[in-house]
Amino acid sequence: MTLLSTLLLPLMLSTTLLAACASSPPSPPALAQPPSVRQLGWLSGRWHTTAGTTYLEETWSAPEGDSMLGMFRAVKDGTAGFYELMAIEQDSDGIVLRMLHFGPKFTPHEGDGDLMRYVLVETDETQYAIFETPTEDRVRRIVYRLQGRTLHISLLSREGAVLEQFILSR
């Protein structure tokens, strides 16, 4: 090697490396997308069951914009005894399930009609969603799970025990 090539070779290599780095910067790691209300569209529809003389029904609208609306009712021996109005909305805390309970004639059912608020903590976007709250004494988690054509709704205590479970069909 000549003196000139010995001096130019390191310069050419460093110029090539600099050009390669400048033309293909490393891509930043992909950020996980926050869930959207649309990902809960699998909940939409009319779900129901009958247990003895009690009819249970839960209905969810299709997602539109940043919300879904739902209702639940329990009818025993032909008389409505319990209503629940629900909304799933996108807000600054993420996806939030809000609900109110009523008795017949829309009388407050529990807590004098206090709004209950659960935040979505886990979903796979196609068959389950888990909502949780730190403020409710009785029901801390609500789990919705789609299994085939049935919707399983589990109400869990602070300790994780199943307080109530509903299995509804379309």
Are the beta carbons of 118 and 133 closer than 8 angstroms? yes
**pLDDT one digit per residue (tens) for the chain, 170 residues:** 443 344 333 434 344 433 444 443 343 333 356 779 999 999 999 999 999 999 999 999 999 999 999 999 999 999 999 999 999 999 988 999 999 999 988 888 766 568 899 999 999 988 999 999 988 888 999 999 999 999 999 999 999 999 999 999 99
| Architecture (CATH level 2) of domain 37-169 | Beta Barrel (2.40)
Structure tokens at 162: 């199943």
Domain range annotation of the chain: 37-169
Task: Please provide the DSSP assignment of 15-69 as one string.
Answer: HHHHHHHHHSPPPPPPPPPPP-GGGGGGG-EEEEEEETTEEEEEEEPPPBTTEEE
Instruction: Quote the CA–CA distance of 33 and 11 in Å, as a whole number.
Output: 44
pTM, rounded to two decimals = 0.77
Based on the number of CB atoms within 10 Å of its own CB, is 74 exposed (0-12), middle (13-18) or buried (19 or more)? middle
